[in-house]
Every structure is written in C-alpha cells, then in structure tokens.
Structure 1
C-alpha cells in the first residue's frame, strides 16, 4: 500500500452471535491490510462491551452506541482514529449510521441492501459526493475471481451480443415459520420494520440483480414480478419470479426463493449470447463454463495464468487450492482498503482497486427492490430505468 501503516477500521453491529459481522471481520483482516480498533457492536452497551472484550479491543474504543462512536472517533488525530467504518447491522439501521459517519468525514463499507428506501439511498449518494468519502457496498459475489473472468469475457465480446440472462438464487432455510422460534436472523429478515418492503428480493434477489448487471453491464428496462408469501403468518414475501427486459433487447429471468426445500445457497447465473454462453455456480465457484454450438465446452479454472488480468488480480493461492466465500468477501474489502489508502496518500487508486460495488450500485439495488414489490402488487410490467445521483 501507499501508506506505511495498516488501515484502521471500526464496526457497527456484528455483536455476540452475529453471523455476518464475523464474516466481515475475517474478510477485512485476510490480507493484513487493516486492523479492527473500535466498535459499537450492539444496540445494547453491555453486549457491545462483551464483544469488545472477546475481540481484545481497547475498552476506551468500545462504544455503547454508534452516535458515541462517531463523536469520540472524530476527536482522535488522523492515524489513530478509524479510517473507515464497517456497517453490519440489520437493514433499517444502515442509513442513519452511514449518514452519521459520512457527515463526519469517515469512509464506509456497508452491507446490502444499502437502505430501506430509495430516498435514503439517493441521500447517501449525494452525501458521499459532498464529503468525498469512499463508500463500498458488500455485494460479495462480485468478488469471486471467476465472476470477474466472466465479466472480462463479456467485455471482450466472446459471447457476442447478449440475448438472455438467467440468474437464480434459491435457499430453503425459511420453508417454515422459523421467525416464530425467535431465531434472530429469521426474525429481522421477515420483519417489515427492519427488513423494509421485501424479504426475499431484498435479501437475496438483490444479489442476483447485482451479479447479472456486474457480469453483463446491462441495465434493466422493465420487469414483471410474481411475488408470493408461501408460509402462513409471514409478513413479507419468501419467493419471487421476475421476467426482465434489458435495455438493448436482451431478456432475462430472475428467480429468488427462501422456501426452496433442500437448497442451501445455490446462486448461479447463465448468460447466452449470439456466439457463446457462460455459466457460473456460487456453490462451485472456482470454475466457469463457456459453451459454443460448434466447438467443445471450455472450463476456466481459478488461479491459472490464462485468465484475464482482472481475474488473476484477485487470486491468492495456486490452482487446485479452493478459494471461496471468505476470499471473495475479502476481495471487496481489499479493493476498498487499497482505495482508501491511496486517497490518504494523495494518490490515484488503480482501476483494479476501484473494482468494488459503490454507493450508486446500492441505490440501483434499492430501486430494483421497490420496483419488484410494486410490480408484484400491481401484477403488471413496470419501468425500472433509473440513474442514481452521481
């Protein structure tokens, strides 16, 4: 990196028992570029203190609220205070926390979806520009090397003109009313006051939308969504099937489900062009299939020298040694951290370092979620053309 120290970060959320907070911490420290020095890990000051003790943090840097954290970290000198904050709370808290830290001049890494409303998302876009901070959104599936290889092949024209995109994200963990047992992850994801207007599309359909857009570069023009709540007593949808018309004429199918019994985390995408097609599976992420009508199928494997530079840049170990979820998550963090370091050094980040989802990607995702819910309620096609504030 361009500065001679580790980047310091703090975390809001991710307290005792939280799944995603631990994932973020593993990802942030994987490359040795950043160190966790502060946090407000829970809305409960006692639980925040407990988490700080478990992480062996200085007690003076473990806070009872994010407001206290913003106030006290802002008073510390540069090099001692945090360089960025990682926000890993339930959805409804993303906006006020991000807003507070951005307005105080801190860089932000935030879990998705970015906010619960389009208005909040657009305000964050404007605040990021006003305060000149780095904002990274952890759509972590774009961090996989073979996803980056897929995008490179599309950009090179290997597939020809894109005609069809099929992206699906089935899970089965909410096939019963799990939230009624008090299971924390199920409770907030199905609660409109915390998750927002959507559960299934907001939680995992947004990943599918982002993955398709990242690989193909295509923007949605209109969608027709069929959203269903299968489990009696559930307040938000748990299954979604969406037809997509893309700008330029391509067609798509986006399917997301939390009630597909037997499925674990089976995100996959198929992209069909006039010359070739490709397929990638998140549960088998080190391989990318490319198929033709007139020659044998090609299988690209992670870590090999024949991959495109933008894919090779995000590989850590030689071929045959699997890399997966944590490494892909860490690639988002590495790019964001290197960009922050370049900014601190007064240098321009490289194109590779800037390869992470931005605040504008977050706004597009939030807009998609709301339009999918609108289409599902109206049972008709709705226009989804959208340009977020820059």
Structure 2
C-alpha cells in the first residue's frame, strides 16, 4: 500500500517544544513516526534559542530547519515550496504555550497535534475552537489513553449495548511523584506544572484529572450535566491542587466518581476505570493495558486480552493493534494510534477531500474545549465547597 494512501508520501512534521530534558516531546516524535507515515523535518524545540538549536541533533533535524522560535519556523516553512514545507505542527510545550503556538500554526495553514490540556484557560479554548473552524485544518488533542486497543474495544462494546444502560463510572488517576515539594528543586517538569502562570488554574486536575475525565467520556459517550468537586493542596506552600475528588452527573442520570492524586506514596501512573451497566460491567487499568475484565452476575468473569484477529475483538479494537497477542503493546503505541487516525484526515485534506471533523476516533477540538470547561468548573465548584455547577458547553457539542 502506498504511504498515506493516494497521497503517496510521508507527512512532514514540525515539533514545538521537546528540547533537552523533555519527556513528552520525545513521545510525540516517536509516536508520529511509528507507522512510517510521517517524518520529523523541522522544529522549534525550546524557548531558549541556544537550547533550541542544540536539541535539534537529538531528533536528526537539519540545522537549516532548527528554528529558534515557533514564529520563525512558521514564517520560513511557509516560504518553502509546497513539496518541502511541513504538513503539521506538534505542540509539546508547557500548557501556557499551547494556545499561541496552535493558533499561529492553524492561521498559517498547518494541521495541529496539541498536547493536553488544550489551552491555559477556557477563553483561549473557545477562541481556538473558532480558529479551527475557520482554518479547515485537522486538529487533534493527544489524550493518548483513548488509543489503547482495549479502550477502543470497550467503547464499541458499550455503544453496541453489551453493558446495557450505563449507570456508574469510577475512574482514578493516582500518582505519587509530587509527594514532596519537588518544584523547589531543579526538576523542570515539577516546576512548570506547579506554576499557575504556566499550568493554568489547576495542578493535578489539569495534568491528569483531564485524562481521567476524557477517558470516561470517550468510552461511554455519555453527555455530562453537572459537577461537584473538592480540590485541595496537601503539600504546604504549593500553589495548585495536588489531590481532588469529583462527582459528575450525566444527562441519563449516571454518576461518575473521579479521583486524581499526585501525592500518593508509591503510585506511578495508575489510571484505572470501572464502568457499570444494567447488563454487565468492565474494568481496565493503564498499568496492565493489555487486559480488560468483563463481569456479569451469575457468570464467570471474562478477561479480554489484546488479541488481533480474534473473533471477540471489535473492528475498532482490532484496528488499534500492531503486533500479535502475547507481545505487550503500551504507551507509545496508544499515542501513535492518535497520530494514525489524525494522519488519515491530514492525507484527505492534502488531497483536497472532505474529512470528518467532530465524530472522530481521535480527540478533537470539541474534546479540548470540554476538557478546559471541566477544569474551570471543577476549580469553581471546589471554591464553592463542592457546589453543583453545570458541565454542558455549547462549543463542545456543536
């Protein structure tokens, strides 16, 4: 098969952020090229010009296309012949830079892959929504946990009615790396995540709580109605929340309890979800992503494994697999599935063809706006001692 179908070439990628010491920049770069459908050819890898230039060698970016700012990159890339310039920009910066970089890239005509949370504020998210609509570009938010094969398997099973009507969701994302005031050291990741000017109005809830919320929405398709939240900061002197619990009421009457923590001893990246329906229930855990438990009263528990080609796999779950059963697939592959789905749309756009913009396999601008609204309403609810606040947003549902 030709690369990217009728486009018959690799998509050309630019990375913003991801300089020396970055975790997520390397993840984006690895995920994007995993299926040999893209090549990283340009970048503005740091806000520090010297570091930006020096980091380019880590990614094999040619010196001529290692830029010292995203503004320089967009201007010079647009001046290149169409056969050479980039197709999309991946935004892997701290949160406060997501909006300006994504907005500028869209207005320059490029597709965008944006890390989460999508922006620093809801107002920025709403403005970016309008920019995406005007641009006609592909825009994806890398809520990468939606890319796991068994998450997509569960989504199809739920939408097919295998669980019946959904009554309850219990989801948690538990970490322990910020148990001490790590931001007072030279730890770069802790420093910006605990700084309201760079992280936004929420700490743990902006960083990992948004993943937990998005996962429940993605798997069930339930529309949120109201939210009641209690966020707190247990580490003295920290400026943003490091622990929180939330209750979400959905329009069908279902309830979700969501917990996010970054101060739980010994916990690493324990994102786990249980979903109860009238017919059955499922359970999945990110630290053991190749298994999903399916339960029905009076029946033995079933363990679904990531098994490409097996008759119990749904089409969406099967399509998200790359290697045979028994060989674990994990974080990079799930991340790459977000890219792969977005690449399908990018190839169509490059060929001048229509592509789906809302009901996509990958999280899109609608999901990004909803995530920022979730953060805003949780912070506001917590400030009102857990008051119930609305969780419907027009832009997220258009």
Equivalents in 2 of 1:140, 1:63: separation in Å?
27
Give deviations 1:267-318, integer Å, cap 9, x for gaps.
0100001110000100000111110012111111102422000110110001
Once residues 316 and 350 of structure 1 are traced to their aligned partners in structure 2, the CA distance between those partners, rounded to angstroms, is 24
Aligned residue for 2:368, secondary structure, equals: helix
Question: TM-score, with normalisation over the residues of structure 2?
Answer: 0.96
Q: Structure 2 matches for 1:246-265, cutoff 5 A?
A: 246-265=250-269
In the alignment, what sits opposite 1:109? 113
Q: Does the 8 Å contact 1:364/1:387 carry over to 2?
A: no
**Cα distance between partner residues in 2 of 1:53 and 1:243:** 46
* Residue-by-residue CA offset, 1:335-373 (whole Å, 9 max, x unaligned): 11121012212345589x941000110000000001000
Corresponding position of 1:359:
365
The equivalent residue for 1:387 is 394
Pair 1:194–1:350, CA change in 2 (3 A): closer
Aligned length: 389
What secondary structure sits across from 1:158 in the alignment? coil
Q: CA deviation at 1:139?
A: 0.1
Runs of 4+ in structure 1 off by over 4 angstroms are 348-351
Residue 232 of structure 1 corresponds to which residue in structure 2?
236
Q: 1:222 aligns with which of 220, 226, 243?
A: 226
| Correspondence 1:66 to 2:70 | yes
- Which residue matches 2:376? 370
Secondary structure at the counterpart of residue 241 of structure 2: coil
The DSSP-based 3-state class of the residue aligned with 2:101 is helix
Q: What is the correspondence of 1:238-317 to structure 2 with a 5 Å cutoff?
A: 238-304=242-308, 305-306=310-311, 307-317=313-323
What per-residue deviation string (whole Å, max 9, x for no partner) do you get for residues 129-154 of structure 1? 10100001000000000000110110
Of 321, 326, 331, which residue of structure 2 is paired with 1:325?
331
Match status 1:342 vs 2:348: yes
Q: Provide the secondary structure at the position in 1 that maps to 2:394.
A: coil
Question: Which residue matches 1:39?
Answer: 43
SS at match of 2:26: helix
Cα distance in 2 between the residues matched to 1:302 and 1:274? 25
- Residue aligning to 1:54: 58
Q: Structure 1 residue 136 and structure 2 residue 134: aligned?
A: no
Distance of 1:111 and 1:291 partners within structure 2? 34
Structure 1 residues 314-337: Cα deviation after superposition (integer angstroms, max 9, x where no partner)? 100010000000000010011111
Is the 2:137–2:349 Cα contact (8 Å) retained in structure 1?
no
For 2:283 and 2:153, locate their aligned partners in 1 and report how far apart those are by CA, in whole Å. Answer: 11
CA RMSD of aligned residues (A): 1.3
Of 99, 118, 125, the match for 2:122 = 118
Shift of 1:70: 1.0
1: distance between equivalents of 2:272 and 2:368?
21
* CA shift for structure 1 position 119: 1.1
SS of residue matched to 2:257:
strand
SS in 2 for 1:188: helix
- Structure 1 residues 239-261: Cα deviation after superposition (integer angstroms, max 9, x where no partner): 01001111110011000000111
Give matches, 1:160-199, under 5 Å.
Answer: 160-199=164-203
Question: 1:189, 1:196 → 2: CA distance?
Answer: 9
